[in-house]
Structure 1
Amino acid sequence: MQSRSSEQLTEAPQRSPLEVADLRNRVRTVIDEFLARQTEILADVSDDCAPLIRYVADLMDGGKRLRPAFCYWAWRSTGAPDEPAAVAAAASLEFLQAAALIHDDVMDGSDLRRGAPAVHRRFAALHRDGRWSGDAEHFGLSAAVLAGDLCLTWSDELYSSSGLNPADLRRGHGIFTGMRTQLMGGQYLDLLEQARADRRRGGAADRARRVMHYKSAKYTVEHPLLLGGRLAGADDELLGRFSAFGLPLGEAFQLRDDLLGVFGDTHRTGKPAGDDLREGKRTVLIALAYERATGGQEAVLDSLLGDRTLGAAGVDTLRQVIADTGAPAAVERMIGDLLERAVAALGPAELAEPGRSVLIALAEAATDRTA
């Protein structure tokens, strides 16, 4: 497909590709209006349900909106018009992301998310402040599970009510449902890998990449691209290009996330420094560190990794050991290679502007970030 007009080419990103076509603000508006409707529904149940909406809304107030962006710009790159219904369908992915974050923080026992208390911590504080009976932590975990479940339900509802043609929605439905199922499978593999870590040292890097593939890479980039393409009626050839672009890019995105989880600045990432180390996350970074470690370095990794009581000094020690193994540099090279492969895969595709330009800019933004 050819560029649609010279005027559209001026939309190509000069700064953040997430701001092109005012997409971030439009996605936020869709979310706010949708949650306002859900507030009315839950108000009929009880005013006591208000925190379910409030805490979800606060969580969703932040975020990069990458998934809606990949979905929307895949739609536009087919030559499809700038349509509010397409923005709404893309915004439904933010509710899936919210569900994943809420449940992930429960599973990891995380205190912070996006610089604020995690949802389960907020519910626990609500219990303590109210001096209610029972265990505050259990209440917090239970309420957060319900909030995450609501977000999954709302993701489906927003998709179905987006305003797109029902035939288009049916065409994208297989991608939409498969994405959610594979995400949950990836989450389970992540739990399983941490539980078995001490017994399954061999092949750890391959297993970590498989977790990354399903827990993050596919649902962050590939599936949103395929969903946008499907909704717009893209042919199999273009959908194949989207996959070839999205999978390596999604892996590169998660590898950057893994580096930030160990070496990132808390003020930028919004999570406590060293949380991934305390949780014993078996990422590709950690697998490579073990592969390259000397006997002494391996002993330090075994001793400190996964220690929930690890203080700042212990975190610094682990960071230094991981850096000394050369694993971070190896991960950086992997990110560069994956990004190059992704952009090359998109190259031959006939894409409308500004869709092509924004997708390439999104690829660079997703892999070159500090939060």
Structure 2
Amino acid sequence: MKLKYLFVILFTSLFFGACTKPKAQQTVEAKQYIASLKAMKYDELNTKLKQDTALLNKLIKTATFTLQLTSHFSSGEKSKVDKAVAEFEIYNDQTQITELFNDYCKRLLFEQNFSDSYANSTFSLYGQDMFTYESRFSLTDDNHILEKKDSLFKPFKNSVVTNEKAYFFRGKKIAKANIGLKRIDSIQAEIGLKFPIAFEKFAIDKTAKSENYKDYTIEVESLKENIAQLKIPMALYSEIIGYQAFNNKNFRMNTSAMSATPMLAIDKKVSESLAELLAIFTDVLNEKDEKSGKEKLDQINQNHLYAKDNMAEFDAYVNKLSKNKEKLKELGDVGLYNEIANAGKKVIGVQTQFAIVEFPDDIKSIDVFVATK
């Protein structure tokens, strides 16, 4: 058994995240690119932009690319349900949850994994992290389980987020990239927990092809017998806290199994940048006056160039891979997913979660429960 070392912990009772949209850049590279286009004769520029427009149209078509995994670990059981379960509810004693969370953090341990299966620069769907965490908050010193504490906090364990800030080897700070096979002493980290205190629900009928909830659209990929396959916007998926369904006798059922994987797709910002660049080129091509046409080129920014170059690289990779039947067979579903994710990391974003939700009996309709605060 690998040794475990006590964490150095900074913790908060709630975890919040925010992101900001980067501004378009007018870099030296973008200015040089614009200058090179302006230096051309107008006929020469038009010929060049027609070629680039054809390329952009091809890349925009590639940008409709999506990849999803449909593998699902089924419960393997299907039975007639003749008794309803209680409607979903949340346990929201915030004071008690916070106390349990504090205990969880104070007794948190980490285990260091010495394996080649992880790499900071490489995505792997089922890859192993360098560090895994476990808390002894619900154990006595002689390893007996404190059942009440364990059961009360169990629903929240998977919502705990560990944000590693610093690593220490022999008492001195060390960069993660330099850890290698060194067994570190401690980790400084922020531990967060986000838990719902209020929720609402919406229903998905068996016959529905899609369902709207607020500003989101949930696509029903399939709803057959006791299994539903749903495409859920990531922002909404992160707020979903439960599913229940009704069978044909109107008995409410809990889930019997569930799996979810992010759908790989071209990042929305990349697609938008390609469309913007195509619009600029089209405007120039439609402009008869050379001075006015070349002035329109000043709208080009670095985001446009990144999108064009990175998508061209990804497009070439996908075309090459699609012709390599032997490699595709060797990779298999998960291997292909990881391969595409890594090859396209400059252009791929995740906007949708592909969820497979299973119930014990045939589904008539599904209730989806969403945290509101």
Calculate the TM-score normalised by the size of structure 1.
0.20
Higher relative contact order (CA 8 A, sep 6+): 2
**Bigger share in helix:** 1
Q: Counting strand residues as a fraction of each chain, which structure ranks higher? A: 2
Larger radius of gyration: 2
